[in-house]
Structure 1
Amino acid sequence: MAELTIVHIGDLHGHLVPRPNVRGDGTGRAEGGLAHLAAMVAQIRAERPASLLANTGDTIQGSAEALFTRGQALVDVVDRLGVDLFAPGNWDYLYGKERFLELFGPGTGSGPSRTRWGAVAANVYHAGTRDLLLPPYLVTEVAGLRVGVVGLSSERAVNALGPWVTEGIEFTDDGHEVPAHVRTLREEEGVDLVVLVSEFGLAKNVLIAEVNPGIDVVLSSDMHEETRDCVVTSTGALVSEVGQDGTRLARLDVTVEGGRVTGHRYRLHTVDAGTAPDRGVARLVDEVRAPFLAGPAFRPHVNPLNGAVLDRPIDDVVGRTEVGLHRSGFCGEGYPAAVEGTSHDFLSAAICEVAGTDVGHLRGFRYGTHVAPGPVRLEDLYHYLPVGAQLARTTVTGEQLRRSLEDSADGTFNPDPFRWTGGWVHAYAGVRYALDVFADKGSRVSAVQVRRGDGDWSDLEPGATYTLAGYWYPRVPDKVGGIDGGEVTVLGRAGAALDGPGAAGGPGAAGAVDVTEHVVDHLARHVVRAEEPRVRLVRPLPDRLWSFPEIQPLRGAR
């Protein structure tokens, strides 16, 4: 008999310092912060030397510090945590293949995988080949226990931008590689315990465990769910997911005997000031943040994705909000995150106002932060918009808009999680509608209305033309917000049409304006105030499957 403790973190999304929790379960105390997280990890390791620390992806994206250093700020700090196991997430590929391999590829680490943090991924290939970017698995020994670890990275490219971000990389999306590696670990490597570290998200990872009975533990990320009790599958696998932004840490103690788990104890901890920060990590966080904050160390930074220049400190106050901003509500709350969130309502409204369009579009991405009522700082905006997007406007037909609504709903609530498209329902300022998540594909959305400018609401007309604003990237110049519309106008300073080199975007482009600056312009004119929900649920979202509240229904809706 042997005992092992697994410490699980994931979906840090670039967060270095604590942030508020303005969701219904908030206590008023700030949560997260890598210095507090590091101290909690150290406490557990001191108590349980036979332990492994797993990080399950989406680490080096989600903040200004991450973006402008192409992930280095996060790598430098997380290196201090001593991560043993790592499954990269889709956002960890944001800076391209070369940068990904520079940070996590073979030769970047000294452990059994020879990759930084023990990075493993059985489903990510050099394009056009069957050669893997990373080892598919690793074997490590802890206190005489042989542990085999299979990795699944994201099952998709960075959909919010486009497949061009991950040029040279191919992903598979069904986990078909897992059974062979589990057999190898059991039959050839002679491991006592098989762990799957996976960024496929809780819903898919549970299904993968159900059809792979050789898996003992699954450490999951992507959906930002919080398993307050670990999921126990029909095959006996123990499954954990740990929220977002470094605000949660899971501890799983397992007893292993005869090649199987005979006992376990699971706890999901909130990371906050109840644990004193690790002083060394706190100093390092201060060091990597100093060039971005007001003070003598501040310097301008060039956005590596679009060439726009950050020329002001990120702790500058750029606006105010009267409502808590977030997109993390549980099913059954007034703003369930899978459908809507105050942060996305605000940001899409800002896009709409700056561009002067009928509709403002924003993808339903899961990353972000929480902002309490009061000042809004530039760094808050970079937590929401750290993807190098510019802003453009175009025209779409009513039928295109309706189809976009339906596609987004199906990508969130399809009863087969493997048909989900990543993220949640998109945000559409200037649009309101009814949503029946239980209806058939193509029939979930009804009673769609659009408000042109400051006018009255009117029914969507399939053949009518509407103006729409949203994300724009020079690699897909004919799309705005991922939609093929009419003529595209890229917006520069103060919402003016951008002509010349800046419209081409890319590093070094003169005149490129990041979408964050457009939101800053909006905040100079408007305080963020509460608005009525834009989406009316015809029927409540599905009931939870397990003891903990769900953010996205884990079996969709049927």
Structure 2
Amino acid sequence: MEKNLNPRRDFLKKSLLAGVGLASTPIIAQAESKEIQTSESSINNKVTFLITSDIHAQVNTHDEFFVENGKHVFKKRGGLAVLKTMIDSLKKSNPNQTIVYDGGDFFHGHALATFTEGEALIPIFNQLGYDLILPGNWEVVYKKKKMLYDMGHANAAKVCANMWHDTTDEFNGELVYPPFWIKNMGGTKIGVIGYTDHLVPKRQSPAFSVGLRFDHPEKNLPKYVKYLKEVENCGVIVVVTHIGLAQQVGLANNPATQGVDIIIGADTHERLRKPIKGKFTDVVECGAFGSFVGKLDLKIENGRMAGYDYKLLDVDPVKYKPDTQVQALVNKALAPFKNDFNKVIGTSTVPLMRYYVMETPMDNLITDAIKWKLKPDIALSNGFRFCQPLSSKDPKTGLINITEEFLWNMLPLDSEAKTGVITGLQVKKWLEQELQNAFAPNPAKRFGGWFVRYAGMEVNFTIANETGKRVNWVKIGGKEVLDDQEYTIVACEREGDPNDTLCRIEHVKNPVKHTLMMHDIIKEYLKVHSPISPKLEKRATATDAPDTLLTQLRGYDYEFM
């Protein structure tokens, strides 16, 4: 047995543990037993974070959207085999002091992930060399048991300080994953605290997160900062989050982040080419779909962060050749599904994309198909962010082929169609809430993805107006909406929602689930209407923002490119 050479230090440590309310937790006991000694000498070096997030199971190189000199362009980016080569190349510049980190939503967003509930991604993930991962809001999509399996088989440390077991057994109230991770890099202790979105039970189908409880990051962040600094003697504190850019900037302006050196964000797929400076710390976020890697170099002087350099780098298949081992794993995983995935179900004359906040060609396709098939007054779809664009044309036909695989990228969950009846007044109140969810000035009141998508309705609003007064006018079927008139709606069924709730609209009359699935509706529509040419049709317009708005963040020096 190793002899305790510093009983006074142990006494002080236990006193501080009690002071911040951590003395009895098993996670902290584990941290105590694995304490890393830090040199007392002055430490000067560089620590590098290589950052990905929101890959959404996009295993192969794909089309990607950019804005260059005010014009929209498409390029080939991503692919996990390309990403592997890039990570290995970047690590060479700082081989012993690089942390490879993923910010969540890795195991969802592609047919391969859906059909295998994420399992097919595990061996591929394990070849990429990640040191640390954070669960995203979509990690619960296959429900708690499967999330624990997929994350548990991923060869990387896990961190999340705001996800607890909500059960009737002995684990009730315990954190699912360690709240922080400590890494000694060249004699400096780097402490990383993680937070996922506390709104997961509302953003996703409620059934997905049964057995889990979430809370706001600011509730316990100061406690963990204090512990890492005063007990573990961490010289650098990094907070990793999957809560969205506006919320991350809001957190950076919250006194709860005092003592935090930087926030590495995720969730909204935003591409920060330069950090956003908050009152107490700065924020970076590094895009999506494996198209980008954030490179964050922390300058360390005397064991503390003295500055940093940040770049957003393209995962460019021309610059980085695919790693043969990872590509072989990808090909092996896809092989059983290849014929089905490659089946062409329709064609388009124009690119399909989902990057605009208010209205997108891709979602106009989806809602047009629903309205065509079921003939409601209003067809609805969620304001999803996932799905990379589709722009590459078939050289033989000059058309863009829409495959079964891409349909699963657009809608990784195939849900049942559900109809109901609501009044015009319900429509207006619901739209006001959806605008609040997307554009609330207070980031803490933001919720979910982008603005809801629809067909059969036109809405004009002013983003900067106060809560409840943003909607200027609403038209349904080309006519001004009437408060007491009833309208039929169709949207997807969400597992766990009350029967009379549809796309977050409560107290819907005459709710009816159909045997029709959304994928079948879209495939039937494409069979009849291809080639399609979906475009922006001013279904959603704002007096104070362009139809092609690309970010929800307002009031900061940031432009999506």
Match among 18, 22, 44 for residue 90 of structure 2:
44
Contact 1:9–1:248 (Cα < 8 Å) also in 2: yes
Specify the alignment match of 2:503 in structure 1.
481
Specify the alignment match of 1:95 in structure 2.
142
| Secondary structure at 2:451 match in 1 | strand
Deviating more after overlay: 476-485 vs 61-70: 476-485
Q: Distance in 2 between matches of 1:201 and 1:544?
A: 13
TM-score scaled by length of structure 1: 0.84
Write out aligned runs for 1:203-352 (5 A).
Answer: 203-210=246-253, 211=255, 212-235=257-280, 237-274=281-318, 275-294=320-339, 313-328=340-355, 337-352=356-371
Specify the alignment match of 1:124 in structure 2.
163
Specify the alignment match of 2:465 in structure 1.
439
Match among 41, 45, 48 for residue 5 of structure 1:
48
Cα offset, 1:23, TM superposition: 4.6
Cα deviations across residues 440-478 of structure 1 (Å, max 9, x unaligned)? 211111221111xxxxx1111111111111101454333
Go from structure 1 to structure 2 and tell me whether the alpha carbon gap of 1:93 and 1:543 turns closer, same or farther (over 3 Å shift).
closer
Q: Distance in 1 between matches of 2:74 and 2:212?
A: 43
Contact 2:161–2:175 (Cα < 8 Å) also in 1: yes
Contact 1:22–1:324 (Cα < 8 Å) also in 2: no
Residue type of the alignment partner of 2:299: T
Go from structure 1 to structure 2 and tell me whether the alpha carbon gap of 1:366 and 1:232 turns closer, same or farther (over 3 Å shift).
same
Cα deviations across residues 357-381 of structure 1 (Å, max 9, x unaligned)? 1111011121122111611111111
Contact 2:360–2:536 (Cα < 8 Å) also in 1: no
Cα offset, 1:27, TM superposition: 4.6
Go from structure 1 to structure 2 and tell me whether the alpha carbon gap of 1:71 and 1:191 turns closer, same or farther (over 3 Å shift).
same
Residue type of the alignment partner of 1:29: K
Contact 1:352–1:468 (Cα < 8 Å) also in 2: no
Two-structure CA RMSD over aligned residues (Å)? 2.0
Cα offset, 1:544, TM superposition: 5.4
| Secondary structure at 2:251 match in 1 | helix
Match among 522, 532, 540 for residue 545 of structure 2:
540
Match among 523, 528, 537 for residue 525 of structure 1:
528
Deviating more after overlay: 405-414 vs 18-27: 18-27
Q: Distance in 1 between matches of 2:304 and 2:239?
A: 15
Cα deviations across residues 47-83 of structure 1 (Å, max 9, x unaligned)? 2111000100111111111111111122221111121
Contact 1:14–1:63 (Cα < 8 Å) also in 2: yes
Number of aligned residue pairs: 491
Cα offset, 1:547, TM superposition: 4.2
Specify the alignment match of 1:491 in structure 2.
514
Cα offset, 1:184, TM superposition: 0.7
Match among 366, 373, 377 for residue 354 of structure 1:
373
Residue type of the alignment partner of 1:535: A
Go from structure 1 to structure 2 and tell me whether the alpha carbon gap of 1:531 and 1:240 turns closer, same or farther (over 3 Å shift).
closer
Q: Distance in 2 between matches of 1:234 and 1:79?
A: 37
Q: Distance in 2 between matches of 1:369 and 1:401?
A: 30
Contact 1:149–1:197 (Cα < 8 Å) also in 2: yes
Identity fraction in percent? 26
Cα offset, 1:384, TM superposition: 1.6
Cα offset, 1:265, TM superposition: 1.7
Residue type of the alignment partner of 2:432: E
| Secondary structure at 1:338 match in 2 | coil
Contact 1:205–1:220 (Cα < 8 Å) also in 2: yes
Residue type of the alignment partner of 1:282: Q
Specify the alignment match of 2:129 in structure 1.
82
Contact 2:207–2:495 (Cα < 8 Å) also in 1: no
Cα offset, 1:354, TM superposition: 1.6
Contact 2:195–2:217 (Cα < 8 Å) also in 1: no
Specify the alignment match of 2:176 in structure 1.
133
Is 1:154 the equivalent of 2:180?
no
Which consecutive unaligned segments of at least 5 residues does structure 2 have? 1-43, 392-398, 547-551
* Structure 1 ranges of 4+ moved more than 6 A: none
Is 1:472 the equivalent of 2:512?
no
Specify the alignment match of 2:387 in structure 1.
368
| Secondary structure at 2:75 match in 1 | coil
Cα offset, 1:324, TM superposition: 1.5
Residue type of the alignment partner of 1:119: K
Go from structure 1 to structure 2 and tell me whether the alpha carbon gap of 1:474 and 1:123 turns closer, same or farther (over 3 Å shift).
closer
Specify the alignment match of 2:4 in structure 1.
none
Contact 1:127–1:168 (Cα < 8 Å) also in 2: yes
Specify the alignment match of 1:498 in structure 2.
none
Specify the alignment match of 2:113 in structure 1.
66
Q: Distance in 1 between matches of 2:215 and 2:309?
A: 33
Q: Distance in 2 between matches of 1:390 and 1:186?
A: 50
Cα deviations across residues 477-511 of structure 1 (Å, max 9, x unaligned)? 33332334222333335xxxxxxxxxxxxxxxxxx
| Secondary structure at 1:219 match in 2 | strand
Cα deviations across residues 291-347 of structure 1 (Å, max 9, x unaligned)? 1111xxxxxxxxxxxxxxxxxx0221111122221121xxxxxxxx22121111211
Q: Distance in 1 between matches of 2:406 and 2:430?
A: 28
Which consecutive unaligned segments of at least 5 residues does structure 1 have? 110-115, 295-312, 329-336, 452-456, 494-512, 552-558
| Secondary structure at 1:479 match in 2 | coil
Residue type of the alignment partner of 2:527: A
Q: Distance in 2 between matches of 1:473 and 1:233?
A: 36
Contact 2:500–2:508 (Cα < 8 Å) also in 1: yes
Residue type of the alignment partner of 2:333: V
Residue type of the alignment partner of 2:509: G
Contact 1:22–1:325 (Cα < 8 Å) also in 2: no
Residue type of the alignment partner of 2:522: V
Match among 424, 429, 445 for residue 419 of structure 1:
445
Match among 204, 217, 229 for residue 186 of structure 1:
229
Cα deviations across residues 258-314 of structure 1 (Å, max 9, x unaligned)? 3432232211111121211111111111111111111xxxxxxxxxxxxxxxxxx02
Residue type of the alignment partner of 2:127: R
Match among 41, 57, 63 for residue 20 of structure 1:
63
Q: Distance in 2 between matches of 1:239 and 1:142?
A: 22
Contact 2:205–2:495 (Cα < 8 Å) also in 1: no
Q: Distance in 2 between matches of 1:201 and 1:474?
A: 24
Cα offset, 1:531, TM superposition: 4.6
Cα deviations across residues 225-248 of structure 1 (Å, max 9, x unaligned)? 11101223333x342111111111
Q: Distance in 2 between matches of 1:283 and 1:538?
A: 51
Q: Distance in 2 between matches of 1:433 and 1:260?
A: 51
Go from structure 1 to structure 2 and tell me whether the alpha carbon gap of 1:139 and 1:338 turns closer, same or farther (over 3 Å shift).
same
Contact 1:314–1:379 (Cα < 8 Å) also in 2: yes
Q: Distance in 2 between matches of 1:46 and 1:219?
A: 22
